[in-house]
């Protein structure tokens, strides 16, 4: 889990319209997580070259090299602290960092979603959790 301070929090400010794009991004991260859990995460030269999100791609490469735990979290934290991104771009980097940590820890997709959905705000997180319960009630 990334530890927050005033500097990081100030970089995260987004408007409502920008926040609306976050659930689709989270879906993408979960889809990649599913693919990784099914095929394993082996270090291959261009394994993640199709991933357009450079922050997420870098994190996946670190995991594929065997990094996990506190070391991985420290590296991702440094990347967030030195990032020049602001607003929704920075928020996506934060969400990607949490996703990478979930993948490195071998967490299932439900746990990953519970960690990522709060970044959408409480109303959207509640709506999406209820929707998932309804879809998986069968």
Contact between residue 99 and residue 29 where contact means Cβ atoms under 8 Å apart = yes
Confidence (pLDDT) at 16: 85
What is the chain's mean pLDDT, rounded?
85
CA dihedral 110, 104, 33, 125 (to 10 degrees): 40
Q: What are phi and psi of 68, to 5 degrees?
A: -160, 180
Could you report the per-residue pLDDT of 77-136, keeping only the tens digit for each? 999 999 999 999 999 999 999 999 999 999 998 899 989 998 888 888 888 888 777 675
Task: Tell me the pLDDT tens digit for each residue of 41-84.
Answer: 655 555 666 678 899 999 999 998 889 899 999 999 999 999 99
8: closest CA among 59, 106, 81? 81
User: How many residues are present in the chain?
Assistant: 138
pLDDT above 60 (res 138): no
How many angstroms separate the CA atoms of 61 and 28, rounded?
A: 17
- Listed in sequence order, the residues at least 6 apart from 93 whose beta carbon sits closer than 8 Å to its beta carbon are 55, 79, 80, 83, 85
State residue 121's pLDDT score.
Answer: 85
Q: Please tell me the predicted confidence (pLDDT) of residue 95.
A: 95
- Return the ∠ at Cα 106 (arms to 64 and 126), rounded to 5°: 120
């Amino acid at each position: 889990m990334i530890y927050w301070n005033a500097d990081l929090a100030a970089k995260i400010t987004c408007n409502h319209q920008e926040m609306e794009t976050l659930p689709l991004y989270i879906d993408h991260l979960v889809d990649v997580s599913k693919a990784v859990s099914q095929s394993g995460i082996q270090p291959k030269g261009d394994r993640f070259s199709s991933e357009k999100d450079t922050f997420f791609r870098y994190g996946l490469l670190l995991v594929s090299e065997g990094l996990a735990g506190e070391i991985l979290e420290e590296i991702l934290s440094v990347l967030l602290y030195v990032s020049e991104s602001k607003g929704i771009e920075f928020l996506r980097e934060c969400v990607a960092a949490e996703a990478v940590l979930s993948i490195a820890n071998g967490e299932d997709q439900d746990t990953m979603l519970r960690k990522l959905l709060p970044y959408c705000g409480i109303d959207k997180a509640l709506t999406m959790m209820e929707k998932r319960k309804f879809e998986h009630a069968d």
